[in-house]
């Protein structure tokens, strides 16, 4: 799993489709075993870098699992998806953004302010 995270975090390598695909394969088993960081990273990868609706649904579910387990980045991503994405539900967006902001996510605080201002 560490190798997959290193690949994704590498500025040069982490931007290429082939490396993302390899890292995704490396994260799949730990994510299925309930490793929260793997669920969060694979969920983000599937939601943002896949063309398939099925993959995006799986990614969304992985993000939801990681967010419920307390992963701040997954909470922020889920809040973003509920705010901007095809799953637009502002009540759920607010919930997840509040969770991420409570853990110190500056991005979540900013988006939460925008959400509150639009209501």
pTM: 0.88
Looking at 1.25.40.10, 3.40.50.300, 1.10.760.10, 1.10.287.3510, the CATH number of the domain 1-118 comes to: 1.25.40.10
Where do the domains of the chain lie? 1-118
Within 8 A by CB and 6+ apart from 63, the residues are: 39, 40, 43, 44, 47, 74, 77, 78, 81
Q: How far apart are CA 115 and CA 119, in angstroms?
A: 7
Residue range 12-39, pLDDT digits in tens: 877 878 888 889 999 999 999 999 999 9
Residue range 86-115, pLDDT digits in tens: 778 999 999 999 999 999 999 999 999 998
67 within 8 A of 59, measured Cβ to Cβ: no
């Amino acid at each position: 799993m560490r190798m997959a995270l290193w690949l994704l975090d590498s500025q040069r390598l982490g931007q290429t489709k082939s490396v993302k695909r390899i890292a995704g394969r490396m994260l799949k088993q730990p994510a299925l075993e309930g490793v929260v960081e793997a669920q969060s990273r694979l969920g983000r990868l599937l939601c943002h870098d896949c063309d398939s609706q099925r993959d995006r649904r799986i990614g969304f579910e992985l993000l939801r699992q990681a967010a419920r387990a307390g992963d701040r980045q997954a909470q922020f991503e889920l809040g973003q998806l509920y705010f901007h994405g095809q799953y637009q539900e502002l009540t759920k967006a607010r919930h997840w953004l509040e969770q991420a902001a409570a853990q110190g996510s500056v991005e979540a605080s900013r988006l939460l302010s925008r959400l509150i201002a639009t209501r």
